[in-house]
Amino acid sequence: MTHELKILPKWFEDVKSGKKNFEIRRADRDFKVGDTLVLKEYEKGRYTGREIQRTIQYIYKGDGTYGVSEEFWILGLKTMEGGDNA
């Protein structure tokens, strides 16, 4: 499954460079390991036209442990084969 998500420029750059290999997201979608995230850069109420794709390789479902509530999941990301498209 593919999920299109907004991402702010400061985090977009960190994901693109590989410095940030996770996303913290509300548990309001049916994310699964192997799903594709299309992260669309979003600034000042509009999309910039830049996007990156990543594959979910791990999901930490918040359960109150380590201060992560049940409302949030931490998604471990990996670069898709063939590299970036940003």
For residue range 45-58, list pLDDT tens digits in order: 999 999 999 999 99
Distance CA 64, CA 69 (A): 5
Please report which residue ranges of 1-86 form alpha helices under DSSP H.
9-17
Give the pLDDT of residue 55: 98
- Please enumerate in sequence order all residues whose Cβ is within 8 A of that of 13, keeping only pairs 6 or more positions apart, or say none: none
pTM of the model: 0.87
Q: How confident is the model at residue 66 (pLDDT cuts 50, 70, 90)?
A: confident
For residue range 32-42, list pLDDT tens digits in order: 999 999 999 99
Domain boundaries, the chain: 2-79
Candidate CATH numbers 2.30.130.30, 3.40.50.2300, 3.40.710.10, 3.30.365.10; the one for domain 2-79: 2.30.130.30
Give the pLDDT of residue 71: 96
